Amino acid sequence: MVMPNYNILRKQIIVKFSKEWYAHHKTGVFPFASLYDYINSYKTKKGKIHKRAGASKQQLGTLLAQSPLFNRIDHGIWEYVGEA
């Protein structure tokens, strides 16, 4: 049986968070804790917490580090360098 790749959904949520953060704060720099809270409280269209979106801090850090859209500035501080 082939397991679904939950990381695709997580990456989409991370980019969505980054664009919302940029629109609100006018900067692509965001604290890791804000992303962690956002992804673990992400809700479906029906208002329930998404079953497959949650991630540990280690999983999120790895996803951010592997993506060319993000740069680590300092401990716990990341920058979105993709299209805003």
Range of the domain at 43: 6-80
pLDDT at 82: 85
Whether 1 maps to a domain, the answer reads: no
* Backbone region of residue 47 per phi and psi (left: phi > 0; alpha: psi in -120 to 50; beta: other values): left
Residue 71, amino acid = N
pTM of the complete model: 0.88
* pLDDT tens-digit readout, 5-61: 889 999 999 999 999 999 999 999 999 999 999 999 999 999 999 998 999 999 999
pLDDT bin (cut points 50, 70, 90) of residue 1 is very low
Whether 76 maps to a domain, the answer reads: yes
**How many separate domains does the chain show?**
1
Residues 6+ apart with CB under 8 A from 39: 10, 13, 14, 17, 53, 54, 55, 60
CATH number at residue 13: 1.10.10
As a whole number, mean pLDDT of residues 64-69 equals 95
Whether 34 maps to a domain, the answer reads: yes
